[in-house]
Amino acid sequence: MKNFAIAIHGGAGTILRSSMTPEKEQQYTKALNDAISAGYKILEAGGSSLDAVEASVMFMENFPLFNAGRGAVFTHKGMHEMDASIMDGATLEAGAVCGISNVQNPVHLARVIKEKSGHVLLSGGEAAVFAKKMKLPFQPDEYFFNDERYKQWQDVKDSDTYQLDHTDKTETGEKKFGTVGAVALDMNGNIAAATSTGGMTNKKFGRVGDSPIIGAGTYANNKTCAVSCTGHGEFFIRAVVAYDISCLMEYKEMNLHDACNYVVKDKLVKFGGEGGLIAIDANANIELVFNSDGMYRAWKKNNDETQVRIYED
């Protein structure tokens, strides 16, 4: 049997048992199980890694607990500006979108951009025009409204601060880097990656993070690996994290484990970058590495049991 595997993440940060209710933990665990199943079923049936990562990310975009799609946080203007990207490791083709509003599934738009626009990255209002031309589903503002996200915005909307997903006053210091992503290997030996996010609460000036930037938040190359990142985007952009891991494997001949751990736990830490990533190579090796207290994550290889984790241990 040929190897196939998939891994997903739903964000990293200060995620502690002490601040998680049993009900919320159960919700996240079920959502991660369901999200990885959406992609795994495609791989199990002989489908492509590209289809698998898109399906898993779309599930998380539709689940309001994750800061992507329906669960996207509010900007300073009380809007939702979403970013997403997808990359095919077999062809190095990629599609991405930033600053998009009202599109139900930004990662699907990224896929359509890759395949039908002739470009890699589209932004804002003109990206919405393209999405409408492609007849992608849109949703009204009410679809993206979430009481918890709204409260997070209300706490900081009159200030110049932004929040990394959220910092709750009752949970001092809690930071969550709200991004979702998936990486997969299919039976044909092809790998792919996809990432989607709602960005930062109270973000201004059209801020864009690493998620839609190929090489920073997302990268895939059959020769090396597929990577999806979650963290403080400015640092991940400056470190070109996703591509850096691929480069270490290609030019330094590091294995996936060593490359991921060097970038996340050494290089990023040295200049203040917090977060994590998931990665996979053509041999179905999977890495789920983070330098924060936790990361919502799940993985499944061949017919093994699905593994779901939230905390560091």
Determine the Cα–Cα distance for residues 287 and 260; give it in Å rounded to an integer.
7
What average pLDDT does the chain have?
91
Q: Is 39 helix (H, G, I), strand (E, B) or coil?
A: helix
Q: Does position 8 have pLDDT exceeding 90, yes or no?
A: yes
Q: Does position 105 have pLDDT exceeding 90, yes or no?
A: yes
User: pLDDT of 85-99, one tens digit each?
Assistant: 999 999 999 999 999
Read off the pLDDT of each residue in 261-271 and give the average, rounded to a whole number.
96
Residue 100 backbone phi and psi in degrees, to 5: -95, 145
Please report, for residues 54, 63, 170, 239, the alpha-carbon distance to residue 51 in angstroms, rounded to integers and kept in the order given.
Answer: 5, 19, 40, 28
User: Of 14, 75, 179, 195, which is the active-site residue?
Assistant: 179
Name the least confident of 210-214, 229-233, 301-305.
229-233
Question: Could you tell me the two tokens for 22?
Answer: 């049993």
pLDDT value of position 174: 52
Could you give the dihedral angle defined by the CA atoms of residues 94, 99, 103 and 106, in that order, rounded to the nearest 10 degrees?
A: 30
Q: Is 251 helix (H, G, I), strand (E, B) or coil?
A: helix
Of 90, 138, 87, residue with least CA distance to 113:
87
pLDDT value of position 162: 56
Read off the pLDDT of each residue in 129-137 and give the average, rounded to a whole number.
98
User: pLDDT of 14-30, one tens digit each?
Assistant: 788 888 889 999 999 99
pLDDT value of position 173: 45
The CATH code that applies to domain 5-84+146-311 is: 3.60.20.30
Name the least confident of 14-18, 185-189, 275-279, 301-305.
14-18
Query: What letter represents residue 141's amino acid?
Result: D
Q: Is 99 helix (H, G, I), strand (E, B) or coil?
A: strand
Q: Give the ranges where the chain is alpha helix by DSSP (H).
A: 22-44, 49-61, 106-116, 124-133, 147-156, 233-239, 241-251, 256-262, 268-270
Structure letter (DSSP) for residue 101: -
Q: What is the DSSP string of 123-147?
A: EHHHHHHHHHHTT--B--GGGG--H
Structure letter (DSSP) for residue 266: I
Please report, for residues 29, 216, 250, 262, the alpha-carbon distance to residue 254 in angstroms, rounded to integers and kept in the order given.
Answer: 33, 19, 8, 10
Q: Does position 166 have pLDDT exceeding 60, yes or no?
A: no
Place of tokens 């990224």: 110
Q: Does position 169 have pLDDT exceeding 70, yes or no?
A: no
By the 10 Å C-beta count (0-12 exposed, 13-18 middle, 19+ buried), 118 is classed as exposed
Beta-bridge partners for 100: 82
Q: Is 179 a catalytic residue?
A: yes
228 close to 277: Cβ distance less than 8 angstroms: yes
Determine the Cα–Cα distance for residues 177 and 237; give it in Å rounded to an integer.
14
Q: Does position 239 have pLDDT exceeding 80, yes or no?
A: yes
